[in-house]
Structure formats: C-alpha cells, structure tokens
Amino acid sequence: MLIALLSILVVLCAILLLSFLWERRKCLRMQQRLFRESRKLERTNHIAGSVLKNVHAFILLIDNDFKVLKTNYYQKTGTKKGAEEKRVGDLLQCRNALAAEGGCGTHSFCGSCPVRTAIRQAFEQRRNFTDLEATLNIVTSDNDAVECNASISGSYFLLDEKENMVLTVHDVTRLKKAEEELTRAKEKAEKADISKSAFLANMSHEIRTPLNAITGFAEIMGSANTEEEKKQYQEIIKMNADLLMQLVNDILDMSKIEAGTLEFVYTTVDINLLLSDLQQLFQMRVNDAGGMIKIIVEPSRFSCLISTDRNRVAQVLSNFTTNAIKFTHEGTIRIGYEARDTEIYFYVKDTGAGIPAEKLPDVFGRFVKLNKDKKGAGLGLSISQTIVNRLDGQIGADSVEGEGSTFWFTIPYRTCGKPQ
C-alpha cells in the first residue's frame, strides 16, 4: 500500500515537473517572441521617426476632436512642444485660433474655416480629401511667423475602433511663386509678341513713306526744268533721308533696349557747352527750313560740370527739341536747366500748340503720335524715358493746349563745378 502511494506521488511530481518545464518553455518562447516584436516595433518607430523627420511636409495624426496626437511639426520647425494639447489650428498658427481665447474651433470665423470644414466632413462621411489650398502662418525656431501657401490632404482610418486622420500639409509657397512667375512671363511674352507685330507693321509703314518720297523725287529730278526746281527736289530728298536715318537710329536704340544692351559711357560734361551746341544745331535746321522759331538757351549758372553720358543726355534733349519744332509754327523754344540740391533739372519749353490734357499721360508710350499728320514713328519720347530711367532720373511733361508745352527730365549729380 505504501509503495503504491509512493508511486502515485512520484508520478504526480513528474507530471508537475513536466508541466512546469512545459510552461517555462512556453514563457521563454513568449519572451523571445515579445523581444522580437519589441525589436520590430523599435525598428518601425525608428523608420517612422526618420520618415516624419525627413519628409518634406508636416504630418499630423489627429482625432475627431481635431486634437493633434502625433506630429513632426516641432522637428521640422525647430520649435518646442508645450505641455498642453493642441488642435490643428493652434499648431498651424491660424490667426483666428491665436486670436480666440479658447483656441482652434472657438473663434466666430472657425465655422467657415475651409480646413476645419474639410476635416469635419471627412470624419462625418468617413472618407479622405486631397489638395485643399490654404494660407498658413508658420512659427520658426527664431519665433518668427512666416506666411506660406499650403496644400492639405487628409486620410481617414479607424484605430482600435477610434476615428483618426492623418493630415499631410505641403508647403507650396515656392511652387505658387514659380507658377505666378511663369504666368507673368507668359503674359509678358504675349505682350512682347503683340508689340513686336505692331512694331513691324508700324515700322514698315514709316520706312516706306520716306523711301517712296526719295525714290519718287529722285526719278523726276532728272526732268526738272530749272536749277531752282532741282534744288527743291534735292531738299525734299535730303529731308526724307534724314527722317529715314532717324527712324533707323530709333529702331536700333529700341532693339538695344529690348535686348538690354543699351550702352552708357560716363564722362565729365559741361552742360552749358552741351546746350550751346544743341542750340546752334537746331537753330540752323530751323533757318534752313525757313522757320520762324527762335531757339534760346537758358543756362542757370556760369558753368556746370557733371559726370554723365553726354550723348544720351543730348539724345533726350534733341528728341524734346525736335518735337517742339514740329508743333511750334512760330515763337520761341527755350532749352535750359536748373542745378538743384541733388539733381539737374533739364527742360525744353515751347510756345506751340500744346497737348490736350487727355493725351498728356500717354506721350511717353511707344508709337504714340500726338498728330498723325506729323512725320515720325512715335518712338523718340519712349526711348527718352528709358534713357532717363537708366540714368536714375525722372521724366515728365506739362502742357496747356494753345499755349505750349514743357518737357523735362532730371538726373542726379554730386557736384556742379567750373571747367578746368
């Protein structure tokens, strides 16, 4: 009997021992499995962290109360995470959320917020949304608020039977600027193409007119009956040749302006001498044409020396004076200047027909001709405006119809002294 009991006891102990060993083996296997799963989880978290850190977007994991559960925002902006929970608008520095005491969702404008509306509808309908455009204020590590354009997408999902959403916020500010620059470049190219077509059409007409005159009078000059008649034809041919040369020069200048190759050579210029030379040149032209105009120079100082491009300043004054002669049948044209504090004020004042007030704002436009009966391509004043702008000056015109006009421009200068 005792032996039987001992046998039973040994068997029970063996069973218990085997059970213990079996359970211990199961525990070891479970520990090993948990260890492997833990390592996997660590690797997954490491990969997820690397993705969140290096992805070129803000990633926000949120719940259906708009609370941000996890985000790479702080890593991307270099800002510190506070202790309090933040909603989407609080984190992304929405101006309305910052202005409201209760933060995101409590401002009177939050009901019409396109971002909140898109997120709310996505939760209600259990769906995703993509490419919602919005303007955000991002706070940098220097605590500076930077406004940027963003494209926001949301992915809805259930986690442990709880509704969540992953928001992806892409900064598309550079893309938007590039698109705007492309649009402006396209519009500029289209305008340039239209201007080019208008330019070619206008130039073909303007060049053909003096060429026809030169060709026609050259043909009939041989059949002139008197020397006086022949001289008259020669003068007409010369006048049209001069006009043609001016057109060619204007075209060359305009092409240089378009190409950005208009050159400027700065030298020391005696303004009084420059104006005197222009007065003699234009008075001679007026006299040769039989005009009744007196060209007068009005120097404001004994002498004035400045550093500028003599030829370009002379070109602008010549364009002003040529226009004044066109619209002045008799009277005076005054060419002068005033030495002011930091600039030289040049002017050409005539006693001609004047310019109607409604046409005055457009006088410096390309191909603008105040009188279509007058010869010229309408480029001189536009070229003059470009020259003055390149000289860091200003240009303008004042006029009273029936009394005359004053065309003027200014250029900056440092000293105004006497010649050596």
Contacts for 132-138: CB closer than 8 Å, 24+ residues apart: 133/172, 136/92, 136/93, 136/94, 136/169, 137/92, 137/93, 137/94, 137/95, 138/77, 138/92, 138/93, 138/171
Tokens at residue 184, please?
A: 């402006």
**CATH classification for the domain delimited by 173-261, as one of 1.20.1560.10, 3.90.1150.110, 1.10.287.130, 1.20.120.1200:** 1.10.287.130
- Residues 61, 154: contact at Cβ < 8 Å? no
Q: What are the sequence ranges of the domains in the chain?
A: 52-171, 173-261, 263-420
Report the candidate in 244, 221, 245 with the shortest Cα–Cα distance to residue 232. Answer: 221
DSSP state, residue 78? T
Phi, psi of 61 (to 5 degrees): -95, 120
Q: Give me the CATH topology for the region 52-171.
A: Beta-Lactamase (3.30.450)
Pairing of strands 330-339, 292-298: parallel
In order along the chain (420 residues), what is the average pLDDT of each group of 10 residues?
71 73 75 72 60 70 88 80 82 81 86 87 91 75 72 88 88 84 85 70 67 76 77 77 74 74 87 90 80 84 82 90 87 90 91 86 75 62 89 92 91 63
For the whole model, what pTM was predicted? Answer: 0.52
Contacts (Cβ under 8 Å, ≥6 apart) of 116 = 66, 88, 89, 104, 105, 110
From the CA atom positions of the chain, what is the Rg in Å?
42
- The amino acid sitting at 21 is L
The per-residue pLDDT for 419 is 44
How many whole angstroms separate alpha carbon 374 and alpha carbon 95?
61
- Residues 177, 184: contact at Cβ < 8 Å? no
The per-residue pLDDT for 420 is 40
Tally of CB atoms within 10 A around 311: 15
Report the candidate in 86, 81, 83, 92 with the shortest Cα–Cα distance to residue 69. Answer: 86
- Residues 324, 283: contact at Cβ < 8 Å? no
**CATH classification for the domain delimited by 263-420, as one of 3.60.90.10, 3.40.50.261, 3.30.565.10, 3.10.20.90:** 3.30.565.10
